[in-house]
Amino acid sequence: MRSMMKARNNIAGWSLSLVILAMSLPAFAAGNSGHAADGHVPSDDHWSIFASIVPESGLNNLRYMFGATLTGQAAPSRVMHVIIGFVVLVLGLFLAIRAAAKTKQDGVEALLPENKLGLFTVFELPAAYFFNTMEDLMGKKKATFFFPLIMSLAVFIFLSNILGAIPGFLPATDNLNTTLALGLVVFVVTHIYGIKEHGAGAYFAHFLGPMRSPAWLPLMILMLFIEIISHIARPISLGIRLMGNMYGDHAVLGVFLGFGFLLVPLPVMVLGTVVAIVQTLVFCLLSIVYIALAVEHAEDH
C-alpha cells in the first residue's frame, strides 16, 4: 500500500506528458476542404459550451498553430479536443494534488480509507485494482514503477470520456489525434523498457519466435513480419477502439438530446457512463498486458 501511495505522487508529471503529446500529434481528420479567402478555417467541431467561451479568432489561430494535416489540408478543422484536453489536464492535476496531499498524512491515517463515499474513494478503488493487477503480472517493483503511467492514462481517459455524457461538453477522446497519441505513449514505453530490461538483442530476438536456427530461417522471417505487424497494430487498435466508441456514444446522445424532451436522453446518458468506464478499463488493462509482456523475463515466456 505504501508503494502504491508513493507511486501516485508522480501522476501529475505523467498526466502533463500525456496531454502535451496528445496536443502535439499532427491532425489526421479534416472536415471542410475549403478555406475562406481571409484565412479562416471552417470549423467541423460539434457545438459545445467552450465554443461560446473561446473566441473564434482564437480557435482559428489554434488550427493554424499545428500546421498542415496528414490528409493534405492546410489546417485542421477540428481543434476542440485540444481545449477539452487542457480542461481534463486541470481536473486531473487537481485530483493528483488531492491524492498527494492525502498520502502525506502521518501514521495510520494515510492508510485508512475515507469514512464516506467521496471523490478520492471513487479513484482509490480503480487505483487499487490496477495496482493489484500489475503486481500479479509483473511483480511489485515493476508495478510500482509503471503505476503512475497507467493511473494517469485511467484518469485522463475517464475524465475525457465522462465529459461527453454531460450536455454542452465534448469528450477529448472522440478525436483520433488524442487516442492515437495515448496509444503511442504505451507503444513507446513498452519497447523502451523492454529493451532496457533485456537488452536490444535479446528483446528483438523474441520477434523471431521460439525456434532460432538456420534450419528455421523461413519461419523466423515469417514470425518477424507477424510480430512487427502485431506491435504496430497495438497503438492503432487502442486509439481506434477508444475513439470509435466515444464518438458513437456522443453522436447517439446528441440525437436523443435533439428530441427536446427532458427524460428521453437519460437512459443513453447512463449507458454512456458505462461505456466511459468500460473503455477506460479496456485501454488500461491492455496497456498493462503489453508492458508486462515486454518486461517479463525470458524464462517466463
Query: Among 159, 184, 180, 41, which Cα is nearest to 96's?
Result: 159
Number of H helices, E strands in the chain: 11, 0
C-alpha cell at 11: 501522476
Do 172 and 25 form a contact (C-beta atoms < 8 A)?
Answer: no
Q: For every one of its 301 residues, what pLDDT tens digit does the chain have, with 9 covering 90 and above?
A: 455 455 544 554 455 455 445 544 444 544 444 444 455 555 666 666 766 676 666 666 666 666 656 655 565 656 777 788 888 888 888 887 877 777 666 555 555 566 666 667 777 788 889 999 999 998 888 999 999 899 889 989 999 998 877 777 888 888 888 899 899 999 999 999 999 888 888 888 888 877 777 777 788 888 888 889 999 999 999 999 999 888 887 777 777 777 766 677 778 778 888 889 999 999 999 999 999 998 885 444 4
Q: Into how many domains does the chain fold?
A: 1
Q: What are phi and psi of 199, to 5 degrees?
A: 90, 150
C-alpha cell at 201: 538483442
Is this model's pTM higher than 0.85 or not?
no
Look at residue 70 and tell me if it is in a domain: no
Look at residue 242 and tell me if it is in a domain: yes
Quote the CA–CA distance of 226 and 232 in Å, as a whole number. 10
In order of 9, 95, 109, 177, the CA distances from 98 in angstroms are 10, 5, 15, 29
Look at residue 28 and tell me if it is in a domain: no
Quote the CA–CA distance of 255 and 19 in Å, as a whole number. 30
Domain region containing 198: 114-300
Amino acid (1-letter code) at residue 10: N
Look at residue 229 and tell me if it is in a domain: yes
